[in-house]
Each structure stands twice: as structure tokens, then as C-alpha cells.
């Protein structure tokens, strides 16, 4: 049982809630233009490093004729995805040794995974399992905009907590998180280097601004609560990795403060007090053909 990512790096709620928003149907047309897939065909799509499964679920909705398979190394993510996203097959597996025969998929796709896996294995395995003419899609997050409102800024207690964590925490190195980052120029070159042709790039912009009236209140609340979950699960990861350095009282106090702040943010939203805090994600999509 492998739970490295869900326990020590990013929790289920952090990834699932943020990706449900990132791959909400209102942004589908941007992705579909960049993916440029033939929807009339019964495509066989493999998502590599699917995490808790939000992108696989979106692909199932956006390409109803497709068979979608999601694969991840983390057992907790796979169990959660199986229970949460209908119509997709999820399985545990290693992206560096895919459990599939050569030439068996029309599409391979991943979101924020390429930077964590050694490139010759990451691209090589996808090239192997794709059919001739198959499409490899690599999605990665680029520098966007994140504006925190005053009511969510860390107080003195929280600042000291995170300062101590940063001095002690070695989980990024230990678990090879972001060990293979690539710039917007390096990514397409790498895809070419590993055998793909007709390389193209595209960008989707996902604007999450709770106070913007174009978003219904349930989506605005989902944006605020996705950030709350991220903040709470970051404390859970500290509990898992640095239990000897923090008392239960300290981590409980951190959770209490985070919840109080996000309750305030929701209350301000409900009162119609506009803060215009925002998270704008830019997702790069690199497309190559075998
Ligand atoms: C940043 S998370 C992204 C998860 C998901 N794509 C999303 O956007 O929510 C990176 C994912 O890659 C998975 N992963 C890392 N190395 C892997 C490997 N060698 N094989 C399979 N999955 C891997 C992790 O378990 C984690 O779920």
C-alpha cells in the first residue's frame, strides 16, 4: 500500500476540490480546443498520475464515447477516485512501468505529474503504450495570480508555525517532489526528444474569483472551501511528517485558526461584502503525436 503523496505531500481533499474547479465544465471548451481529439471515435484514454480522479471524471463527461482509465501509485487516491467518479476505471500502478501492452491507447494525459517523474521513463512509457498516431497530452501549472484577502493572511502564531516547518521539513527532497521541473520552452523540446512529433502548445486560463457575480454562490463557496481544505491538509501533512516537533495542542490550534478565518471569509461573502480575492491558474497543455 503506497500512500506517500496523499499522506505527506498533498491530501485527497486538496487535490480533488481544486481539480473539480480547475476541470469544471465551464472551462471545458478551452481544454478541448488544445486537446484537439476526434470525439466521434471511441477513444481509449489513459490518465497518468490521476490522483483522486477529477480530470478523469471530466474526460468522461467531455468525451462520452471514450473509455477512460486513471492510474496512480497512491492507494488512497485510487480508492477515493473509484468511489467518487462514475464510468472511469481506476487502478494502482507505476507510471515508470505501465501495466499495459504496447500500442494500446489513443490518448495519454496527465496534469501536474511530468515534473515529478524522470522524463525518459515518463515520456518513454507513454510512447510505448500509445498506438501509432496516438496523442500525448501533458498539462502543467504555470505562474498565475494569487491574491489573499486580509482576513485570510497568516497571523503571528501561524507565521511562526510555518517558519519552524520550513526549517525541519525535507519531504520535497525525500519524495522527489518537483525533481524534474521544465520551463514552457523545455517541455515541448523534451516531448520531441522522446520521439513525439507535431508538437503543439496551448494554455487554459482558470479564473477563480468568488466575488465575481458570474459564479453562482455554490461555486464561490467551493472556491473558498477548496483553499480551506488545502490549508487544513497542509497541517495534516505536518502532523504526519514532523509529529516529534509539534504538540497535538499546537496543530489543533492551527486548525482552529484556519477554520475561524475561512468561516469569516464565507460570512463576508454571504453578507455581500466584496473582497475580490482571486486565484487565476494558467495551465499549459503540450500536445504531441506518436
Ligand atoms: C501533483 S499530484 C497530481 C494529481 C492529479 N493529476 C491532480 O491534478 O489532481 C502528482 C500525482 O502523481 C502521482 N505519481 C507520482 N509519481 C508516480 C508514479 N511513478 N506512478 C504513478 N503515479 C505517480 C502521485 O501519486 C500524485 O497523485
Sign of the CA dihedral with 242 first, then 243, 244, and 249 last: positive
25-76: pLDDT as tens digits: 999 999 999 999 998 899 999 999 999 999 999 999 999 999 999 999 999 9
Q: How many domains does the chain have?
A: 1
Residue 203's pLDDT is what? 98
3-state secondary structure of 108: strand
Residue 170 and residue 55: Cα distance in Å, rounded?
29
pLDDT higher than threshold 90 for residue 194: yes
Side-chain half-sphere CA neighbours of 251 within 13 A = 18
**Residue from 172, 42, 55, 64 nearest 110 by CA:** 55
Q: pLDDT tier at 211 (50, 70, 90 boundaries)?
A: very high
Distance of CA 29 to the CA centre of its chain: 19
The three-point CA angle 283-286-287 to 5° equals: 135
Give phi and psi for 229, each to the nearest 5: -65, -40
> For residue 267, what pLDDT band results from cuts at 50, 70 and 90?
very high
The grid coordinates of residue 261 equal: 478565518
Q: In what order do the strands lie in the sheet with 105-111?
A: 88-92, 67-72, 44-48, 105-111, 130-147, 278-289, 197-208
Give the closest residue (by CA) to ligand 1 atom 4. 51
Q: Please give the mean pLDDT across all residues of the chain.
A: 96
Share of the chain above pLDDT 90, in %: 93
Residue 261 confidence (pLDDT) above 90: yes
Bridge-partner residues for 44, per DSSP?
67
Domain that holds residue 205: 4-289
Q: How many CA atoms lie within 13 A of 280 on its CB side?
A: 11
Average pLDDT over residues 178-203: 97
CA 14 to CA 233: how far, in whole Å?
Answer: 7
What is the rounded end-to-end Cα distance, in angstroms, of the chain? 33
pLDDT in tens, 93-125: 999 999 999 999 999 999 999 999 999 999 999
C-alpha cell at 233: 491538509
Q: What is the mean pLDDT of residues 126-152?
A: 97
Probe residue for ligand 1, chosen from 11, 13, 50, 73 as the CB with the greatest number of ligand atoms within 8 Å: 73
CATH of the domain at 119: 3.40.50.150
Task: Quote the CA–CA distance of 124 and 108 in Å, as a whole number.
Answer: 12
Task: List alpha helices for 63-105, DSSP H.
Answer: 75-84
CB atoms within 10 A of CB 234: 16
pLDDT score of 1 more than 90: no
Average pLDDT over residues 146-165: 96
Q: What are φ and ψ of residue 287, in 5° steps?
A: -125, 125
- Ligand 1: which residues within 6 Å by Cβ? 5, 15, 19, 49-51, 72-74, 77, 94-96, 111-113, 116-117
75-101 pLDDT, tens digit per residue, is 999 999 999 999 999 999 999 999 999
* Pair 27, 57: CB distance under 8 Å: no
Residue 289, classed as helix, strand or coil, is: strand
| Ligand 1 center to 284 CA (angstroms) | 17
Amino acid at each position: 500500500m503506497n500512500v506517500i503523496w496523499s499522506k505527506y505531500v498533498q491530501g485527497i481533499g486538496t487535490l480533488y476540490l481544486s481539480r473539480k474547479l480547475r476541470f469544471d465544465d465551464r472551462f471545458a471548451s478551452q481544454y478541448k480546443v488544445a486537446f484537439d481529439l476526434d470525439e466521434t471515435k471511441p477513444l481509449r484514454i489513459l490518465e497518468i498520475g490521476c490522483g483522486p480522479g477529477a480530470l478523469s471524471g471530466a474526460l468522461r463527461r467531455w468525451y462520452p464515447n471514450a473509455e477512460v482509465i486513471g492510474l496512480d501509485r497512491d492507494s488512497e487516491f485510487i480508492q477515493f477516485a473509484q468511489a467518487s467518479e462514475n464510468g472511469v476505471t481506476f487502478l494502482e500502478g507505476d507510471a515508470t512501468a505501465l501495466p499495459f501492452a504496447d500500442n494500446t491507447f489513443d490518448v495519454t494525459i496527465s496534469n501536474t505529474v511530468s515534473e515529478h517523474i524522470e522524463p525518459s521513463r515518463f515520456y518513454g512509457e507513454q510512447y510505448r503504450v500509445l498506438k501509432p498516431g496516438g496523442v500525448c497530452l501533458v498539462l502543467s501549472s504555470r505562474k498565475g495570480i494569487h491574491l489573499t484577502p486580509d482576513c485570510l493572511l497568516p497571523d503571528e502564531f501561524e507565521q511562526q508555525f510555518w517558519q519552524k516547518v520550513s526549517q525541519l521539513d525535507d519531504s520535497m527532497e525525500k519524495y522527489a517532489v518537483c525533481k524534474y521541473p521544465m520551463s514552457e520552452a523545455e517541455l515541448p523540446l523534451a516531448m520531441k526528444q522522446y520521439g513525439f512529433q507535431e508538437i503543439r502548445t496551448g494554455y487554459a486560463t482558470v479564473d477563480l474569483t468568488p466575488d465575481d457575480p458570474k459564479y453562482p454562490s455554490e461555486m464561490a463557496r467551493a472556491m473558498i472551501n477548496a483553499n480551506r481544505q488545502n490549508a487544513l491538509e497542509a497541517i495534516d501533512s505536518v502532523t504526519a511528517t514532523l509529529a516529534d516537533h509539534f504538540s497535538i495542542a499546537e496543530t489543533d490550534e492551527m486548525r482552529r485558526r484556519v477554520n475561524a478565518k475561512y468561516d469569516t471569509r464565507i460570512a463576508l461573502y454571504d453578507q455581500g461584502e466584496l473582497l475580490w480575492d482571486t486565484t487565476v491558474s494558467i495551465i499549459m497543455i503540450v500536445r504531441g503525436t506518436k
